[in-house]
Amino acid sequence: MKKWLWVLLFALAWMLPQTAEAASSGQLIIINKSTNELAFFEKGELVRTFPVATGRTSELTPEGRFPIVNKIKNRPYYTDGIPGGDPRNPLGDRWLGLDARGTYGTTYAIHGNNNEQSVGKYVSAGCVRMHNRDIHWLFEQVKLNTDVIIVRSSRSFEELAKANGYQLLPPISVYVDGKKLSVNQEPFMKDNRVLVPMRSIFNALGATVAWNAKTKTVAATKDGRKIELTIDSKRAKIDGKTYMLDVAPTISGQQTFVPTRFVSEALGASVKWDGKKRIVSLLSPAKPAPQPDPATPAKTPIKVTVNGHQVEGDAFILDGVSMVPMRQIFEWLGVPFSYDAASATVRASHQGKSLTVSAGNSAAVINGAKTTLPQSPLIEAGRLYVPARVVTETFSGSIRWDGSTLHITVRQ
């Protein structure tokens, strides 16, 4: 009895560190039989996804939660006596055995294969097949006792992970020119690339989008540039030229998701990823400065202070004449006025003095006498601008110009 107890204790001691190792790594594998895809999670994040093959019929590949209980290189194919590592071996050269249906890793597994074309199909006797290059990568990453969840579902891998109690990192946020992108389905990481809902990102970047349901192709255009993407294809086009993507566009939760960096940079935006905060920041390309119209005189912005108060509203110099917003300067001077919108005419009177001016007309009436103004009043952005000196001289104010600071000071 004592000898049996020591053997049991030794076995438990050997198993516990491996269990702790798997738990500390935060690993999880999810296999979705509906799409024949495998997702590998680590430390709260979806790291990579792979195509797989599953059972010829639905019941052959078991569904549920099964730990990986053994990792074997070059496992022989006992049925036909094919040695491990032989190119004819239908198990490939890597075996991740699952504790499923009481077989403890001897019958059900994730493994390689000798027929690469079978991956993605329903062809196996119950195991999960992968491309040999993919199982090689996974074999090196995954720890013993990592849980494998096998389901048939229309939900995303992140949704499935959450539903099975896996602690994911905070959701990814996308900001465009400092404004958070509004989405009705969260962006997600796939193969170390952030994917975002197609229409949200293209609308935010000012691109128009066309979707071809037959070919499952997305076409986005902006400023004469055209981007073409196809669901589940890593080939993309920019203005007819083919480029290879790191990750293909995909459909999740009935929405089309596209790779953030590729589409953003293709449209001229810069991309920055903050891994700690899980924030993608996009900055739209700078718009070219508008070219001045030779027929339109140049204007120089200036500041205006009246009786110690800065006048709100733009003021500027036009052809050497300081133009100020009529309403603001009259209000600060305390001069009553009226404005006739039909004729764009201002009439102001104060302490026996009067001024009548009209937009687009250099003729004015000052204290009953007709006068020619140095610059015609004009309307811009709904405001009427008048020559500053005409107003101050009419209503006994002083005006001082500081050319070094482009500042007019008016006192009454």
Which pLDDT tens digit goes with each residue over 317-337?
888 888 888 887 787 778 888
Judge if 117 and 195 occupy the same domain. no
Is the pTM higher than 0.85?
Answer: no
Residue numbers of the domain that contains 247: 173-283
Report the pLDDT value the prediction gives residue 163, as an integer from 0 to 100: 94
Report the pLDDT value the prediction gives residue 311, as an integer from 0 to 100: 72
Judge if 193 and 159 occupy the same domain. no
* Single-letter code of the amino acid located at 166: Y
Q: Is 111 a catalytic residue?
A: yes
Give a yes or no: residue 288 inside a domain: no
Asked if 171 and 197 touch (Cβ cutoff 8 Å), the reply is no
Give the H or E element holding residue 30: strand 28-32
Judge if 314 and 222 occupy the same domain. no
Kindly report the CATH number assigned to the domain that includes residue 203: 3.30.457.10
Reduce the DSSP state of residue 355 to 3 states and report it. Answer: strand
Q: What angle do CA 210, 211, 212 make, to 5 degrees?
A: 125
Last residue of a domain, one of 163, 191, 214: 163
How many independent structural domains does the chain possess?
Answer: 3
Q: What is the average pLDDT value for the chain, to the nearest integer?
A: 85
The pLDDT-based confidence of 292 (bands split at 50, 70, 90) is low
Q: Give the pLDDT confidence of 163-218 residue by residue, as tens digits.
A: 999 998 888 899 998 999 888 788 888 888 898 988 888 888 888 888 888 899 99
Give a yes or no: residue 157 inside a domain: yes
Give a yes or no: residue 11 inside a domain: no
Last residue of a domain, one of 255, 283, 311: 283
Judge if 257 and 313 occupy the same domain. no
In this structure, the number of other CB atoms found within 10 A of the CB of residue 371 comes to: 15
Judge if 251 and 276 occupy the same domain. yes
Give a yes or no: residue 377 inside a domain: yes
Q: Structure tokens of 177?
A: 């020119």
* Single-letter code of the amino acid located at 189: M
How far is the C-alpha of 139 from the C-alpha of 111, rounded, in Å?
9
Judge if 266 and 388 occupy the same domain. no
Q: Is 127 a catalytic residue?
A: yes
Residue among 270, 252, 253 nearest 261 (CA): 270
The number of residues making up the chain comes to 412
Last residue of a domain, one of 283, 308, 340: 283
Pick 62 or 302 by higher pLDDT. Answer: 62
